[in-house]
Structure 1
């Protein structure tokens, strides 16, 4: 979230924009995904990411009248990411668990869209609008530093949520995960 940019677009002050987002989050209309932080990961962005909890409402507000328009649009990848994050969020919430979700982005714009921190292990997930994205797991390497030192976490299995037809291995640790399985 860039509160200053958001405030400028809405012609309000940055503190007002921040308060309005808090109200939207409290009402359950948006979800603020906090960054994954670890002492070994330096130069990480500390601002949360905002996701609409209801992609149907978001499409309606943007006046996209059907799925074909959305799929062909420039924001279709963002909508897929929003949908995937919210499906995983709801899976944890519906089981009565606090979703152990975060994301990691550094100042060089290297990003892991979703980091699950479960029982001392982190599981990186990329989200791509493709059936077989190539080299997506390379960016998981930026998380290898969390497995070192005193406060080490285990780097568990990860995956790329995409439009693959089946759950397929990418390598020994990572999988192509069909979006339909979410």
Structure 2
């Protein structure tokens, strides 16, 4: 069991809320983490997997079965498959009146299950588990392997060939089985869209161009991308909305959240192949963004780009202060004139240039070059969080 950073936060949530939800993509380790936490409890627990027919049968009379588990922690995996359970959970939570009653796991985002779980308002807290973050896995692999294989446990912990086979199988299973619960999409069009997003990883979304290439409307493209975001497969990074008189780009940038899925979609089987591909810089950029989001989910993430091309890859804010982050997939980074103009526009407390190195260094006044691990450590110091 590789320790997960979210564990401490989850224990706190179980102590202070009746229902704790762990949300995240399939195969990212939610079930493993939940079972590990259950094994360390000083009380009884019941684990139900809604993809297992025998467990589904136990919930044919869900109210009767769950009401008999008083005093136990009931863990329900793949909760999005049975949304009608949420009103039942509410009635049992209110009847038993204590914290730590349910631990629910889901592969759909809070937005996708929000309607179903509205009855649990005030009783539930949501936590997101990502594939492995770099600080969780850095003693088990190299940064180069992490970039190519991504962070899914069954991808990063095996050899190069098996890892690629697993990721290709994951993509196919996701498209042909997991998305069947969501109506209104074509698996063939979704695969083609996903491949197109891999080639344009980190670029601003052009729904009309994507729709023309796929032979579908731009509104359908947006719905497809929203669905991929809702199942944790992509991130739509919104443009900066702070006070500025400059004309800013309004479309979001779209990233595939796991670099290993990007390399699989691009058929890049090794670091050498990835390093020579035009998408290499965006792989590094997406890794940095996902690691920041995984460590600090409450921070606001955006990008800054004017219509004249002045830009910063990432702006992170706690609501009052900001840090500007530029991602450079080279050991000898240089900032452009457009970068410096953007930094002047947003006036961050610090600008950090993140590179795939072993140690960072001061770059210029109020600008430091840092590694990914150094970045994660310095963020709370700069934002006082």
Q: CA deviation at 1:146?
A: 4.5
| Residue in structure 1 matching 2:228, options 24, 38, 47 | 24
Range with greater deviation from structure 2 (35-44 or 17-26): 35-44
In structure 1, the partner of 2:342 is 142
Q: Which runs of 5+ in 2 are unaligned?
A: 1-204, 377-385
Q: CA deviation at 1:119?
A: 4.3
Higher strand share: 1
Contact 2:310 2:338 survives alignment (8 Å): no
Q: 1:64 to 1:145 in 2, by over 3 A?
A: closer
In structure 1, the partner of 2:158 is none
Quick one: distance in 2 between partners of 1:145 and 1:17? 33
Q: CA deviation at 1:38?
A: 2.0
| Residue in structure 2 matching 1:160, options 353, 359, 362 | 353
Q: 1:84 to 1:146 in 2, by over 3 A?
A: closer
Q: Secondary structure at the match of 2:365?
A: coil
Contact 2:300 2:319 survives alignment (8 Å): no
Alignment of 1:127-138 (within 5 A): 127-136=327-336
Q: Secondary structure at the match of 2:330?
A: coil
Quick one: distance in 2 between partners of 1:107 and 1:76? 25
Q: Deviations over 1:68-110 (max 9, x none)?
A: 21112121111111111111111113xxx2x311000111122
Quick one: distance in 2 between partners of 1:126 and 1:146? 13
Quick one: distance in 1 between partners of 2:324 and 2:340? 7
> If you compute each CA radius of gyration, which structure gives the higher value, 1 or 2?
2
Higher helix share: 2
Q: 1:68 to 1:14 in 2, by over 3 A?
A: same
In structure 2, the partner of 1:179 is 372
| Residue in structure 1 matching 2:306, options 106, 110, 119 | 106
Higher relative contact order (CA 8 A, sep 6+): 1
Quick one: distance in 1 between partners of 2:296 and 2:321? 16
Q: Deviations over 1:118-175 (max 9, x none)?
A: 241111111111112123586243243446xxxxxxx201111113442211123111
Contact 1:116 1:123 survives alignment (8 Å): yes
Quick one: distance in 2 between partners of 1:48 and 1:174? 26
Q: Which runs of 5+ in 1 are unaligned?
A: 148-154
RMSD: 1.9
Quick one: distance in 1 between partners of 2:337 and 2:292? 19
| TM-score where L is the length of structure 2 | 0.42
| TM-score where L is the length of structure 1 | 0.85
In structure 1, the partner of 2:191 is none
Quick one: distance in 2 between partners of 1:113 and 1:89? 14
Q: Does 1:70 align with 2:274?
A: yes
Alignment of 1:116-131 (within 5 A): 116-131=316-331
Q: 1:105 to 1:77 in 2, by over 3 A?
A: same
